[in-house]
Structures are given as C-alpha cells and as structure tokens.
Amino acid sequence: MDCIVIDWYYSGMTDAHSIPLFNLFGETTVFPDVVHCERVLDRAGLHDWVIAPHRHSQMSQVFFIEHGSAHVVLDGAEERLASGRYLYVPPQIVHGFEFTRGTEGTVLSFPSPVVSRLGPKAAALTSWLATPQRGVVTADVAQLIAALAATYTSTGTFRAQRLVALAHVLLATLAEDDLADAAFEDPQAGRQIQRLDALIAKHLTDGWAGRDYAAALHVTTGHLNRIVRMATGRSLTAHLETATMTEACRLIAFTRLPLAEVGYRLGYSDPSYFSRRFRSRMGEAPSAYRKRVVGSEL
C-alpha cells in the first residue's frame, strides 16, 4: 500500500503570479508517507512560528491546538485557532498561520486519495470534507489523534492500512460530531457531488458552464442542479460561481496578477463585468478587496 504515494502531488510554484503550492509547507518533493503526522513545533519552529499563506492541490489537513493559539488566514479571512480546538483545511484552500511561541499541537496531513476512499459515500459527508471546518476537540477525537500519532511512529506489516483506517475514523467522527442532526443523504448523490467538485477544480479556468459539467457526468443539467441543491442548498449556477469567486479571492489576495488578468483566467473576457459579478457576490469591488486584505502595495 505504501506505493500509492507516488505522483500524488504537483511541484511547488514560486513566481509572483502564483500562490505557493506545497506538499507539506516548504516541500515540493513527493509526499513522504501514506499519512503524515507532525508536531506544530516540528514545522512552525523552523519558520519562526510563522507559516506563510500557501495551499495544497491534493491534500487535506487537520490542525489541533493543545496549548497556545494561532492567528489563521484562511482564503483571505482571518480567525483565531484557540487551545482545544481543531481546524480542517481541504485541498486548494489558501491558509497561513502565526502561532504564539511555544504552541503545542498536532498537524495531520491526508492525501486526497486517502480521503476519497472514505465511504460509503454520503452527500453531507462529501460536502463537509470539501469546505474548511473548525470545532472543539472532544475526548474521543483527542484519543483518535493520539492513536494516529502513535501509529505514525510505529512499524509493522500493516502500518499503512492502520494509518488509513484511523484517518477515516477521525474524519468521519469530526464530520459526524459537526453534522449530528443532518439527515441521511443519497450515496449516489454524494458521489456525483464529489465528481463535480473535482471537475470544477480541474476546469475552473476553462470557461465551463453547468451543461458542460452535466455532460461530463452523463446527467442532464436539471438533474445535476437538483443534486447540488440537495447537497448544498444552492443552485448549480450559484455553486459554480461560488467556486469561481473563491478562486478569484485567492488570486487577488495571494498573487500580484492584475485584476483584469484574474478575470480573464476565470473566464471573464470583460473586466467590468467581472468586477460587477465580484461586487455582487463579495459585497465589494476586486480592488477594494485587495486593498482591504493585503494593503495598497499591490
């Protein structure tokens, strides 16, 4: 099973028009294990307790703060991660941290193929795994994190299988705690949402419309719209525009691309129309968003 780590990750990008893309922060080599576990000190201590904004294309992470705290930047928004709480970050989300010195905690990194094998599929679980989550670490979750950390440093013929199994239990437990009152969802709908979100990530800059995604999934546009609405509460059009504007926020906040170029990359040939749509969705113009999030120097 260890061989499945090969070729899961893209190399890092470092030019000013790209958001840094890492396997683990600061690393662009192949992912080192089937699951990765490290203490906050192991990584943050090497960078003066500051982890600059970056993202991962094929990896989800869980950050657990045992003692101390962290100032978190998550897709341009700021929040505080306090002691006894966790933060779950899915792929493509830009995230950065400024930890208080001496912060103790655990960082767990899960390659996307590991996360995607978590089943049986349910739309509620798929939706939960696709967006950032945060919450209180219960005693059961703390025990699971400790078991993962212990297994990570262990040896044995089936170590990789045990790591994957524990990863699945942890993620399912976090989601179940958070969605305790959620109704049962159709497993087939969950698989379709998962495939849709993968296609969106792949074709975000290709100008695909709802009908293109429906065709790729071999369903009608109306049927795909019903699946998306059931899983997210949004229409297919709103779901696609949310993904587009989320990426726009990342590019505006974390690159030096001209605003018009950001629009072009995301399929808007008319800069003024892109600006209007951004303002409509985000409540402010792209230029105002950039100034507010990163300052006037860009």
Residue 37's pLDDT is: 94
Torsion sign (Cα): 41, 10, 145, 51: positive
Residue 33's pLDDT is: 79
Contacts of 20 (CB under 8 A, 6+ apart): 12, 13, 14, 52, 53, 54, 55
Residue 8's pLDDT is: 30
> pTM of this prediction?
0.63
Euclidean distance between CA atoms 284 and 153, whole angstroms? 48
Would you list the domain boundaries of the chain? 2-178, 187-294
Q: Which residues pair with 200 in a beta bridge?
A: none
Q: Give CATH superfamily name and number for 2-178.
A: Regulatory protein AraC (2.60.120.280)
Residue pair 61/89 in contact by the 8 Å Cβ criterion: yes
Residue 294's pLDDT is: 76
Residue 5's pLDDT is: 33
Euclidean distance between CA atoms 162 and 238, whole angstroms? 39
Residue 23's pLDDT is: 55
| Of residues 201, 205, 13, 256, the one with CA closest to residue 91 | 201
Contacts of 215 (CB under 8 A, 6+ apart): none
Residue 181's pLDDT is: 41
CATH number of this structure's domain 187-294, picked from the four choices 3.55.40.20, 3.30.200.20, 1.25.40.10, 1.10.10.60: 1.10.10.60
Extract the tokens encoding 105.
Answer: 């905690």
* pLDDT tens-digit profile, the chain (298 residues): 333 332 333 333 345 555 555 554 444 445 567 899 999 998 888 889 999 898 888 899 999 999 999 999 988 888 999 999 999 999 989 999 999 999 999 999 999 999 999 988 887 888 889 889 999 999 999 999 999 999 999 999 999 999 999 999 999 999 988 876 444 455 666 778 888 988 998 898 888 999 999 999 988 888 898 888 877 778 899 899 989 999 999 899 889 899 999 999 998 989 999 999 999 888 889 999 998 887 644 4
Residue 114's pLDDT is: 93
Euclidean distance between CA atoms 187 and 185, whole angstroms? 6
